[in-house]
Structure 1
Amino acid sequence: MDAITLIAGQTMPYDRRWAVTSGASRYQGGWDECHAFMIGTRNPALAAMTATLDEESQTVHLQHPALPDISIQPDDPQSAAAFITWVTPLTPPGRAAPQAIVTAGQRGMTDTKYPSVSIMNTASHAAVADQLGKPLEPERWRGNIWLDGLPPWAEWDWIGRDIRIGAVTLRIQERIARCAHTAASPETGLRDADTLGALRDGWTHTDFGVYAAVMTGGRIALGDELEVL
């Protein structure tokens, strides 16, 4: 996106606004951990799904290389049922099938117990690609905000500190622990890169990116400068 408005105490608008439960889900409503839902760690083919939102009509346009395109309105029961039928063929044998679309509203189903925004460093991404010895798509990390022009892993030094981008102040809370979802190609949905192995071999951890909380809301846009406070 060229620009977006962030709100204090909230996620990036529409980030993980909807989630998909499975027949084995223990979901009880509201926010829940990612393991309550269909996720790429267990269903790598999901990595190749792309989505475009028409905010005015609340319509999500979905594409996957193994499926026909589909457009749905996730809050409409009939439309949600059509999505479940559409996505079911991506379920690996032996895994619980998708069941329903659920939402926690603006809260978003972030991987943190607090509403968070994920921040990535392009230099850190390039370092992982170099460790792998092959190009790597940035989409594997599913970052909300990408920063350029920094040294690799500079973001580790900001834990517990505030940064300002445009009109927005964010507090850097913690590193992002990564899972096998990052091994799957966002183009094919096949696992073709040992991202976790590269992180372990190169830096003795499997973290990439940082989680931040929005402290002061406002507009953020491409080209805004970063200031560490």
Structure 2
Amino acid sequence: MRIERICRYPVKGLSAEVLGAVRLTAGEGLPEDRRFAFAQGDSPFDPAAPAWLQKRHFACLMANAKVAAIRAAYDAPSQLLALQAPGQAPLQADLATEAGRSQAAAWMTEFLGEEARGALRFAMAPGHAFTDIAAKAVSLIGLASIQALEAKAGMALDPLRFRANILFSGAAPFAEFDWIGREILLGGARLRVFKRTQRCAATEVNPETAERDARPQRWLREHFGHADLGVYAEVLEGGLVATGDALAPVQPDLLG
């Protein structure tokens, strides 16, 4: 099996950053993945005591399809976040400053309009990631699994709908489900797969048009008897992972 694409999403709900390679660290997800979020005005998120919260407390594709129209770019060394969207002036915000974070929050509040539940806040906290599950993990999907769903749905589905960190080829459809509880070698890293990824209404949103034009949840249930696509894995041993690297489940008798 082969790694075909590596993605991270610096701002929860916003566009992907495609990477050629990334260095994973034990106990962590991808660096800079879901590091930031826009907290809704009524969100209880407290940066002084960061805790995992459900996605509804933040601007997200599940509730706010229009955020798919935003093109975001984050440069970690300079801490600059660029945001642009149709009908709105582009913004470059310095996230190292309170003024820059406030500018980004005001921009998103204006963009969401009636969907904003009060003034949004730019949310960040050291060591915290705004992921869909509380555990720090890497998400993986086999391209064959997406293709099996496409065949049943009768339409093409951009893999970016499913916002995985790792897309891989060379496995049978849904083969990744068989890895639950097993270790895998991913490039130079070792991971343990621990959970299937249950899909939500975010997958309805076309990442190019920002329209809800598909029903992956419903199609998965109708044709496969579940609403799962992809898996989560924890990083046991860090290492460099690159596009083109191999992915291989570890045979149980080799685990020592």
Q: Do both share a fold (TM > 0.5)? A: yes
1:207 is matched with which residue: 224, 228, 232?
228
- Listed as ranges, the gaps of 5+ residues in structure 2 are 1-18, 251-256
1:31 aligns to 2:51 (yes or no):
yes
TM norm structure 2:
0.84
Partner of 1:83: 104
User: Which whole-Å deviations, capped at 9, do the CAs of 1:174-216 have from their partners, x for residues lacking one?
Assistant: 0111111110111121111111111111112111111111100
Partner of 2:4: none
- Percent identity at matched positions? 34
1:137 aligns to 2:178 (yes or no):
no
- Listed as ranges, the gaps of 5+ residues in structure 1 are none
Higher deviation after alignment, 50-59 or 213-222: 50-59
- Residues 69 and 159 (structure 1), Cα distance of their counterparts in 2 relative to 1, 3 Å cut: same
Q: After TM superposition, give the deviation of residue 58 of structure 1 in Å.
A: 1.2
1:14 aligns to 2:71 (yes or no):
no
Which amino acid is 2:20 matched to? D
Partner of 2:66: 45
Is the contact made by 1:184 and 1:191 (CA closer than 8 Å) also made in structure 2? yes
Is the contact made by 1:10 and 1:107 (CA closer than 8 Å) also made in structure 2? no
Partner of 1:164: 185
Q: How does 1:75-224 map to 2 (within 5 A)?
A: 75-91=96-112, 93=114, 95-224=116-245
- Runs of 4 or more off by more than 4 Å in structure 1? none
The two structures, once aligned, show a CA RMSD in angstroms of: 1.7
Which amino acid is 1:9 matched to? G
Higher deviation after alignment, 132-141 or 79-88: 79-88
TM norm structure 1:
0.93
Q: After TM superposition, give the deviation of residue 36 of structure 1 in Å.
A: 2.5
User: Which whole-Å deviations, capped at 9, do the CAs of 1:74-119 have from their partners, x for residues lacking one?
Assistant: 3422112222222224426365145211113333112222211111
- Residues 132 and 97 (structure 1), Cα distance of their counterparts in 2 relative to 1, 3 Å cut: farther
* Count of paired positions: 229
- Residues 97 and 108 (structure 1), Cα distance of their counterparts in 2 relative to 1, 3 Å cut: same
